[in-house]
Amino acid sequence: MDVKIERLRESLKISLKGELDQHEARGVLMRFGELESQALPARCVLDLSALGFTDSSGIAVLLGLERRVRDAGGELTVVNIPPQARRVFDAAGLSRVMRFE
C-alpha cells in the first residue's frame, strides 16, 4: 500500500493507494507515526480515491488517524470513498464519529 503525505499551504493531504488489510495496516500506521513529531495544520484531508479494498483493519486505521489529528488540534475529513470501502465504514457506523465527504 502506498501512503502519500503532502503538505499543502494550509492543509495536510494524505492519500492511500492499494488494498488495506491487516497485513498492510502496520506499514500505514507506521507512516502515520511520522506525523506525531510535526505540527499538524488544522485541516487534514484523507483521500481514498485510489483505495482498491479495505476490511475492518481500515476502520482502526481511520479511527487512529482521526484521533491523532484531533489531539493535535486539527480536523480530519475523509474524501472520495470508493463504494466497497463505504459499505465497510457504514456497517461499522463510522460516519457517526468521523467527517465523510
Partner 1 sequence: MRPINEMTLTFPARSVNEGFARLAAAAFAAQLDPTMDELGDIKTVISEAVTNCIVHAYPDTLGAVRMRCRIYPDGRFEATVADSGVGIADIEKAREPMFSTGGAERSGMGFTIMESFADSFTVRSRPGKGTTVRFTKRISPRAKK
CB of 88: closest distance to partner 1 in angstroms? 6
CB of 57: closest distance to ligand ATP in angstroms? 6
Q: Which amino acid, one-letter code, is at 99?
A: R
Which regions of the chain does DSSP assign to beta strands (E)?
2-7, 11-20, 43-54, 75-79, 99-100
Cell digits of residue 49: 480515491
Q: If binding is defined by CB under 6 A, does position 56 make contact with ligand ATP?
A: yes
Q: Between 43 and 72, name the residue whose CB sits nearer to partner 1.
A: 72
Q: Are 40 and 7 in contact (CB under 8 A)?
A: no
State the residues that interact with partner 1 by CB under 8 A: 19, 21-23, 25-26, 29, 53, 55-57, 59-60, 63-64, 83-84, 87-88, 91-92
